[in-house]
Structure 1
C-alpha cells in the first residue's frame, strides 16, 4: 500500500512539475543567468541541459563549468556560483557548518575501472576492492601478481609494473572510488578512508590527472596503467581502446557497468535515502548489482539573495529531474539512470526549499 501511495504522489507531483516547466518560465521576462560548476562526470549532461533549457527558456542562461566536485561544493558555500555539480554529497562537517546548503540528487551515475594493458584491453579483467586497494597502496606492483592472477584464471597476465592513475584535484569520482575501497577493504578503511581528496600513498610511477578527460588521456598514453573514470565518458573510453574491468560486488559476483546492473545497484540501497539525500550507493550487497554507483548532486544554497534567481533555480532543477522521454534521452546519452519515485519526491521537496 505504501509503495502504491508513493507512486500516486509521484505521478501527481510530476504532472504539477510538468505544468510549471511548460508555463512557468513565461511569467518572468527578466534575463537571468544561472552559474554552475563542479563535477566533470556531470559536465557532459549539464552542457546538454544548458543548450536545451536555454532554447525552451530564452530568458534564462545557464553558464556551466567543469572544475571538479569539491570545487563545485566550495564555490556554492562561498556564494560564487548558484549550483555546484557534484558526484559527492556534502560531508557531515560541512552539512553541520552550512545548514543552508543542500545536496539534491538529479540522476544516478556510475564509474568504470579502466586499464591499458597491451593485448588485454579487449577482455574484461576481473578486479575487486582489496586488489585495487593493493594497487593504489603499492602492495600489489605487477599485473601478474598472485592476487590478480587468482581473479583471472587462464589469462596470460604480463610481468610488468602497474601504473595507478588518480585524480589530482578534489573529485567526486575519487569520493566514490575510495568509498568502494573503504567499504570492501578493512585495511584501506583503517588507514585512508574516503573523500574527494585523501592522503594518497606514494607508489613508484603513479600518475595524477585533472578531470575525467585527463584520466582517459593519461590511461591512453600510459601502457600498463589503471584508473577510475565516470561512466559519462564511455565514448572517450571506447575511442581510447581501453579495457573495462568486471568488478566484484557485495554479493560476490563480478559485474560490468550496464544499465541493468547500475539500476539494480541504486535500487538495492536507494530506498534508504534520507530526507537530506546524503547516501552512498556504493558496494550494494544484492545480487546483480554494479558496485560503483552514485547519486549525481546539485549542491545549492536554500538562501538565495535574489527571489528571481531563487525562482529560476527551482524551475531549472525541477525541469532537470522531470520524468519525460526527452529527459530520459538526455540521461541515456551519458549512461545515467533517472531518479526512482522515492528519491524524486525527496529531491522535489528539497528543491522547493530554495527561497
Structure 2
C-alpha cells in the first residue's frame, strides 16, 4: 500500500465532498457519488476516533469524503470532547484522538496502549479555528470586549451587562441592567484550555487561574460539548459563552469583537490563521510532534489570538501495522489542500498553511516507518 497514493486519493475525495452535506458513518453514511480512478489503491478497514467536539464538523466532512472513495473503509468519530479523546487514545479505546490541546508532558511521559513499547504518540495539527465569545442579549449588536473585561465576566467579577467596564468599551450602546448568565464547558475541554490560556496571558490581574482544560471558577451554568454550550446560551437570555466558531451555526448568537492592540477586530478564520502562522512549535518535542505554541499576544492587523489548533493524536509506531497504515493515510488525506478547503467550507475553519500542511503530511507518512 503506497501512502502517497492514498493521500492523492483522499484529495480527490475531498473535492467531491464539497457538494455534500457531509455525514459521518456513525451518523447515517455519506452518498457514494465520487468514485476514484480505477487504478487508485483502496483503503479498507475500520478506524475509531474520539475527541474534540470543535473538530466534529470537520471530521464529518473528511470522513464523508474519504469513505465516498473507499467503500471498504469505515471511520467512526465520537465528539465526546478533547479530554475524553486523549484518555480513550491513551487507554487504547480509540485508534486516534481529536484534541484542541496537544498532549501534556505528563501524558507523554506515560505509556500508550496501541503504540509499540518504548514509543510515544505525536500531535498532528489538522484544524485551525477562532474561538468566539458569543452572547445572547436582546437589542445588543456589535458588542466590543477586551481580555480584561472578558476575564472579569467569566470569573464572576462583572455580573451586570451595564457594568462600567463593559459600558466603557461600548460608547452609545444600550446595555440592559440585567444579570449576566455565564455559560461554560462542564467537560474536560481543549476549547476551555485555549480560552483560559488566552485570558491568563492577556489579563493576568483579572484572570487569577492558570490555563486549564477544566473551567476553574464556580460561576454561571455548565454544559457539555460545543453543542451543549451553544444550546444553553441560546436558551438563556442575557447569556455569554465561549465556543469554537463552527458551533454557532444558525443559533442566532452574536459574536463580540475583540480588542487586539489598539483595534477591535471581528472574528475571522483568516485572523486565526495569521496568529498560528506567527507561532512556533513547542520546543523539546519529538521530530514528528508538531504541537504549536500559540502566540496569544499577536497584535498584527486583523489577528484573532483567541484561536484553537486542534490535533489528531496518533502513535508514531503502532503495534498493529494495518491500523498504522489507515491512520497514516487518513491524516495525509486530511492535510491535503482539498480536504482543508472542504473543512473551511463545512466548518468555517482556516486551512493549514502550505508549509504546515507539508509538515503534517510528512509526519503522518512517517508513522511505522
State TM-score, norm by structure 2: 0.82
Answer yes or no: is 1:201 the counterpart of 2:217. Answer: yes
1:178 corresponds to 2:196? yes
Give the unaligned 5+ runs of structure 2. 13-36, 112-118
Q: 1:280: Cα distance to partner?
A: 3.6
Three-state SS of the structure 2 residue aligned to 1:64 is strand
Structure 1, residues 85-121: CA drift from partner, whole Å, max 9, x if none? Answer: 111111222223356111100121111111111111x
1:101-250 alignment to 2 at 5 Å? 101-120=121-140, 123-187=141-205, 191-198=208-215, 200-203=216-219, 206-235=220-249, 239-249=250-260
CA contact (8 A) 2:343 2:351 kept: no
- Shift in CA distance, 222/318, structure 1 to aligned 2, threshold 3 Å: same
Aligned to 1:252: 262
- Map of 1:71 onto structure 2: 84
For 1:175, what is the secondary structure of its paired residue?
Answer: helix
Per-residue deviation, 1:230: 0.9
CA distance in 1, matches of 2:129, 2:258: 16
- CA 1:267–1:348 in 2, change beyond 3 Å: closer, same or farther? same
Report the secondary structure of 2:127's partner residue.
strand
1:268 correspondence with 2:278:
yes
Q: Partner residue of 1:100?
A: 120
Closer, same or farther: CA 24–312 of 1 in aligned 2, 3 Å: farther
Separation of aligned partners in 1, 2:299 and 2:39: 43
Change (3 A) 1:340 1:15: farther
Q: 1:272 to 1:66 in 2, by over 3 A?
A: closer
* Cα pair 2:130 2:269 within 8 Å, conserved: no
**1:157-201: CA deviation from partner (whole Å, max 9, x where unpaired):** 111111111000011111111111111111356x31112114x22
* In 2: Cα distance, 1:150 partner to 1:142 partner: 13
Residue aligning to 2:317: 303
Q: Deviations over 1:124-147 (max 9, x none)?
A: 201111111111221111111111
**Which structure is higher in helix share?**
1
Aligned to 2:25: none
Structure 1: gaps of 5 or more residues: 1-12
Question: 339-348 vs 85-94, which deviates more?
Answer: 339-348
What number of residue pairs does the alignment pair up? Answer: 330
Residue deviations 1:242-297, cap 9 Å, x none? Answer: 11100112x2321111233223222232x556652222434423232012122220
In the aligned structure 2, how far is the partner of 1:202 from the partner of 1:28? 51
The separation in 1 between residues aligned to 2:228 and 2:130, in whole angstroms, is 18
Distance 2:10 2:53 in 1: 29
Task: Look up the SS of the partner of 2:123 in the other structure.
Answer: strand
Calculate the aligned-residue CA RMSD, in Å.
2.5
**How far apart are the structure 2 equivalents of 1:168 and 1:37?**
17
Matched, 1:18 2:8: yes
Q: Does the Cα contact within 8 Å between 1:248 and 1:291 map onto a contact in 2?
A: no
Q: Secondary structure at the match of 1:348?
A: helix
Cα-to-partner distance string for 1:21-64 (whole Å, 9 max, x where unaligned)? 678995567x4100011111111111121121111122211011
How many angstroms does 1:315 deviate by? 0.5
Query: Does the Cα contact within 8 Å between 1:35 and 1:82 map onto a contact in 2?
Result: yes
